[in-house]
Amino acid sequence: MPSKKNKRKRPERPTIHPKNKYSDNPPDFSLLASLYPSLKPFVLYSRDGRPRIDWTDFNSTRELTRVLLLHDHGLNWWIPDGQLCPTVPNRLNYIHWALELTAFTLYLVPLFLDGHFVGSDVTDVALEWAEKNVKGNQHISELIEIRKVTDCQDAISIEDSNCGESVNCENKMDGNVTVVEEAELLPSSFDPPLDMNKKYSGPPLLLGVVRDGEKFDFCMCNPPFFETMEEAGLNPKTSCGGTPEEMVCPGGEKAFITRIIEDSVVLKESFRWFTSMVGRKVNLKFLTSKLREVGVTIVKTTEFVQGQTSYLSLLRVFNGNSVPSMYYSQLSPFFCTGGASCKLNASSFVVDITASNDQCKAILGDEAKPPNGAATCNTLEASQSSSYLHPPSNNLSFRVSVFQQIPGTLLVKASLQHRDGPVPGVFSLIIQQLEKILRCKFCREKTTRN
């Protein structure tokens, strides 16, 4: 068994899984459009001739996902309008990571993956389309079973287990529970009020799926991240669709994943690894403490940034009546460090930035001091090492706007003007750095984010 030493490891820096086929070889939209005419209307061209996708258009993202699954993975796939559309490179990161975990365990306990999957959901539409997608791919249809989550009558329940209230369970767990973090999904600094008492009250999760005596190498989960659709609407991912059933549950992802943790106590013999995506880094601390509470000894996290092309953050600010230009004026000194080009549009409070490799490094390096000579914030960490940076081969172009959406709440919005290889990682870091500076200067609360 893996070591049970209680080692706290810092999450790795955001990265792209090295085995992800898109890590060195991002999709060529132009080529794909020439091969798949149905994609053609969705491939737009920037002024410099680069092909791009409108990530805010659901039909574009769905068609791209369809084409990537077909072209690169030989899979037929479709979902109806408005359903949550997965991004292929992103899910590939998760799959590679989960497989790697399993390989790690299998190295110690030599068993073999039999390549069978069980997929579960609760809504009729999700189940219907999962079934259609499986049946539409004969070469794998025998390997995947779709199950509707049932009430626990037939399955083992938390109450039936020897743990009773599983979270306070005295019977410590021997298995491994893993949280995989996917920070690209959500605005990193939207800190909703935390209500620790909100519990997941929906149908059972793992307990409603796993049958007596079944063994799985791992479970994967993409939970409903939000507590309300209003909150979900702030997510740049809404361009990928998403119905209330997919996006929202009482207590959000914290409550949903807590329920998986509780189920994992009962099902500790049924899985080698329990994994879930986590949308909000801020929830990791809470979830990790839940894991510790139930006696979990090995917790692994990772963070992937593949595909992030837009960024949206909400910061709560000191003075609800401050004028927008106060925030806007912070942008130019930050981005112009090292000579990046900054075009300010004073009427719309938008800044267009174009930065070369060196200018990106300068923005992220030691020189990236808080603008206007403000006192250095302790929490502004030099979180970038040059070995992590994979600067773009061409200039990085993006647009940033900062304004008060409602009094006391600052909205930071940033979007890449084009995608080029691993650029999103650099882009993401730059925006995180900006966000830290704005927090440091204007926010009430101490920065608690990683």
Ligand X SMILES: C[S@@+](CC[C@H](N)C(=O)[O-])C[C@H]1O[C@@H](n2cnc3c(N)ncnc32)[C@H](O)[C@@H]1O
CA distance 224 to 247: 4
- The C-alpha atoms of residue 88 and residue 17 are separated, in whole angstroms, by 13
Measured from the CB atom, the residue of 105 and 306 that comes closer to ligand X is 306
Measured from the CB atom, the residue of 236 and 370 that comes closer to ligand X is 236
Angle at 87 between CA 86 and CA 92, to 5 degrees: 105
Nearer to ligand X, 245 or 352 (CB): 245
Nearer to ligand X, 100 or 245 (CB): 245
Rounded to the nearest whole angstrom, what is the least distance from the CB of residue 286 to ligand X in the complex? 19
| Residue showing tokens 């989550």 | 149
Token pair of 240 as six digits:
């990928």
Please count the other Cβ atoms lying within 10 Å of the Cβ belonging to residue 311: 26
Select 17 or 418, whichever has its Cβ closest to ligand X: 17
Tokens representing 321 are 């009546």
Closest distance to ligand X from the beta carbon of 212 (Å) = 19
Nearest approach, Cβ of residue 420 and ligand X (Å): 26
CB closer to ligand X out of 205 and 267? 205
Nearest distance from residue 80's CB to ligand X, in Å? 13
CB 277 within 8 A of CB 94: yes
What residue numbers does the annotated binding site for S-adenosyl-L-methionine cover?
91, 121, 222
Shortest spacing between CB 260 and ligand X, in angstroms: 9
DSSP state of 104: H
List binding-site positions.
Answer: 91, 121, 222
SS3 call for 91: helix
Contact between 355 and 367 under an 8 Å Cβ cutoff? The reply is no
Tokens 């112009």 appear where?
A: 336
Q: How far is the CB of 409 from ligand X (least distance, A)?
A: 25
* Distance, C-alpha 103 to centroid of its chain: 23
Residue sitting closest to ligand X (CB): 222
Torsion, Cα 182 187 190 194, to 10 degrees, reads: -30
Chain-centroid distance of CA 202 in Å reads: 23
Q: Three-state DSSP class for 121?
A: strand
Binding residues for ligand X, rule: CB under 6 A, are 84, 86, 120-123, 126, 149, 202-203, 205, 222-224, 245-246
